[in-house]
Chain A
């Protein structure tokens, strides 16, 4: 549905572009934008009483007139067009150069800075650059957040890996990766950037901003990822217009921005590890439901192999208690023992189920082990070194 709408629109805009090539209106995407554009032109010229001849009909008929391939005037010569061009250029310049006087005027940037409790070393201009995605075609590749996001991603991976290694030293690699993904995956960073940090999106076109006479510094505090020549409408999905223009989803844009802020902080504070560690601890480290990530295919066999490796006695499953064996809903409690030591316990409505659950419980207790002193004083000293996964 949305695709057909988009195609219809593009066809319409193509025909428009062909018919009014002489007047060369920028990029026309839908009827609404042309109307606003023409309406403003008419308004301006009548108000100023300029020499450009514009038909006195309303916006709709003027658009229709240009459709019938009779150019009324050269749009490039109109003062409004020059004015718009100037606005666009100064906008571009502001985003690229990020002059201090303009950046310090941006309330969105300074409030974001204060909300995240960022240190004063992190400049507002770096923060604004971190909100500049490559997919918004406003700036060249030199002034977007691509490099910052790579730095931020690596800093995040390094710090979070260190944290996880100290906290859960025995996690198997796939589970470990899943935990890292839980802490800094695209989905998580999107939720963090949007719903916790409250970063705003820049979704309006430059044209509509120009028509509303929006001050240029307003855009500096918003996340720019959308191609702002194209109107963003609800229900219409943009897929790909140019080869060079890679369409990035909102989630990816937020994740890039969050990573870039971390990268920018690391860069501006002169690679101060203490500040970055504090920031990551405050914002990224959260409680992970580790036990919910595990899914064992052969828990009993794995437990046997693990006990062999750790030089423990062979695990034996013993029935601890039962209730209603002959009834419709029996319950068995089975414990798995290595010698006299109980490794785990499970319940189930059959002996087999209870036995499997007991083995799973024992494995979880081994893998999700947290050293007691890890968070107390020696945060960065590793107390347990993992022997690696068990080969089943």
Chain B
């Protein structure tokens, strides 16, 4: 027998590269109504041309502006993890709309979870310090069964 080593197949995981971050948000849809009062803010926002700055700085995101009458305005983020995040922006204006757009833009798109207070650190790597072992302490002070 030449080599006594068998490889075990590892399961691939979703992981970006080590050096480069790829934004999770790939598309944002802005849906507004031509007549509704709740769309007043987003209509003003679109007319004022503030959105151009957003388009300039976020070339990695595809923007789609949809006119759908008779509904409240909604902005929807489409993410690489195949999920969407819709946020209703009825009656919101200027800065509040921008806040929501930023939220969608910077979100990872994953499900929101309540992170427990003492479980903030999550890592696939082993700890640098190692785990304390009772059987490796000095034999004179070791507890023996």
What per-residue 1/0 map shows which CB atoms of A350-392 lie under 8 Å from chain B? 0000000000000000000000000000000000000001111
Nearest CB in chain A: distance from B63 CB, A: 8
**Given A321-B136, A390-B3, A108–B62 Cβ distance below 8 Å?**
yes
**Given A174-B3, A321-B135, A391-B3, A295–B8 Cβ distance below 8 Å?**
yes
Contacts of A215 in B (CB 8 A): none
Contacts of B121 in A (CB 8 A): none
CA distance A363 to B6 in the complex (A): 13
Contacts of A390 in B (CB 8 A): 3
Nearest CB in chain B: distance from A45 CB, A: 29
Count A-side interface residues using an 8 Å CB cutoff: 58
Total A-B pairs, Cβ < 8 A: 132
Q: Across the interface, do B14 and A196 meet the contact criterion of CB distance under 8 Å?
A: yes
**Given A111-B59, A198-B80, A323-B144, A175–B5 Cβ distance below 8 Å?**
yes
CA distance A286 to B5 in the complex (A): 23
Q: Across the interface, do B1 and A392 meet the contact criterion of CB distance under 8 Å?
A: yes
Residue in A closest to B144 when the chains form the complex, CB atoms = A323
Q: Across the interface, do B61 and A197 meet the contact criterion of CB distance under 8 Å?
A: no
Binding site for B on A (CB under 8 A): 107-108, 110-111, 114-117, 172-175, 177-178, 181-182, 185, 187-188, 191-192, 194-198, 281-289, 292-299, 301-302, 320-324, 327, 331, 333, 347, 389-392
List the 9 closest pairs (A to B, CB-CB), nearest first: A198-B80, A282-B20, A178-B7, A115-B60, A114-B59, A198-B26, A324-B145, A188-B12, A114-B60
Further pairs besides A111-B62, A296-B4, A302-B4: 20, Cβ < 8 Å: A116-B22, A174-B3, A178-B10, A182-B12, A194-B82, A195-B14, A196-B14, A198-B24, A198-B26, A283-B22, A285-B18, A287-B125, A289-B10, A289-B124, A294-B5, A296-B5, A297-B1, A297-B5, A321-B142, A392-B2
